Amino acid sequence: MSGLGGLNKSAHGVVVGLVQLQLPVVKTAADLAAQTRRICELVAKARRNQSTMDLVVFPEYALHGLSMDTSPEIMCSLDGPEVAAFRQACVDNRIWGCFSIMEANPEGNPYNSGLVIDDHGAIRLYYRKMHPWVPVEPWEPGNLGIPVCDGPNGSKLALIICHDGMLPEMAREAAYKGAEIIIRTAGYTAPIRHAWSVTNQANAFCNLAYTASVCMCGSDGTFDSMGEAMFCNFDGTVLVEGGGRPDEIVTAELRPDLVREARIGWGVENNIYQLYHRGYVAVKGGAQDCPYTYMRDMAAGRYRLPWGEQVKVTDGSGFGFAAPVRSYKGPEVHPLVPQAPLTPDSSS
């Protein structure tokens, strides 16, 4: 049940709009400015479209397109004009927003970053993509972990980006930190359609969480993104699905209170709890060891696949990127950019 896409909002509901944004071509600073204006226009459309909407979500690559261009003139920063425009759009339209930027990195390749901004213009969540889609994407791997923030109407939000959602550990970490709604933004094209669907459902079911996922949409003359916004219930069923129409805003009402109820009250298939309380019918409190070799090995810095030495693709050289020479730096604590208060007329 999604309250007819949020038209009938309940007292505990959070209405989310997923924007199947038309895939842009962005090559210059002028293109970047024009696309920033377009996204802000669609924030306003979301508010006009549905007065009950709490949060509007834009896909990965909404601002930059799928070119993988790392030119400095089209990279962004938290205190740059693009983020300032998004913050103002949220204030002007009294709505939360989730946005995508390619973030300049003075020490190496740019980060693929996501922001959740509240209806007062404050950045509430700042995330750098942990798992760039190798070997195709050039982005620096994220070093901020998976943040969770308080969202509208008492909800808890997390953001993962595109390929992140193919690794079950990502959604599990988000839920472990309290997320009730896991947002997944993407730029995927049609070959990923089936994997997109099954992972969105599995991430929801395995973690007793809602998943709200959306891709770019339409063609840029080279790539064809698929749209296919999807809301999944915490039992893994699909609540609402979009298609392939560019700029359509697909909506649903989500009920975080029901997630909380299930996490507390379910016995059968309360998997995120039972992971650490194995077999509690037989032994008091259940087994609370770490029986998974890959977890122990990763923590100890000795993760090795039995076939690891035979893996053929281990960098992006096959896709035209130079083999990297820098080592990974992180994790780090990165404070948000200082945020001056915004008002509805502060841009005038």
Distance CA 347, CA 344 (A): 8
* Residue among 189, 179, 52, 44 nearest 124 (CA): 179
* Residue among 290, 104, 259, 258 nearest 174 (CA): 259
Place of tokens 């998004």: 86
Q: Which of 76, 82, 90, 129 is catalytic?
A: 129
Q: Which of 9, 60, 90, 137 is catalytic?
A: 60
Q: How many residues does the chain have?
A: 348
Q: Which of 149, 162, 206, 217 is catalytic?
A: 162
Q: Is 162 a catalytic residue?
A: yes
DSSP 250-297: EEEEE-HHHHHHHHHH--TT-HHHHTTSBTTTTSTT-B-S---HHHHH
Q: Is 129 a catalytic residue?
A: yes
* Residue among 242, 120, 255, 239 nearest 180 (CA): 255
Q: Is 217 a catalytic residue?
A: no
How far out from the chain centre does Cα 225 lie? 17
- Which three-class secondary structure string do you get for 105-162? CCCCCCEEEEEEECCCCCEEEEEECCCCCCCCCCCECCCCCCCEEECHHHCEEEEEEH
Which residues, listed in sequence order, are joined to residue 288 by a DSSP beta bridge? none
13: left (phi over 0), alpha (psi -120 to 50) or beta: beta
> What amino acid positions are annotated as catalytic residues?
60, 129, 162
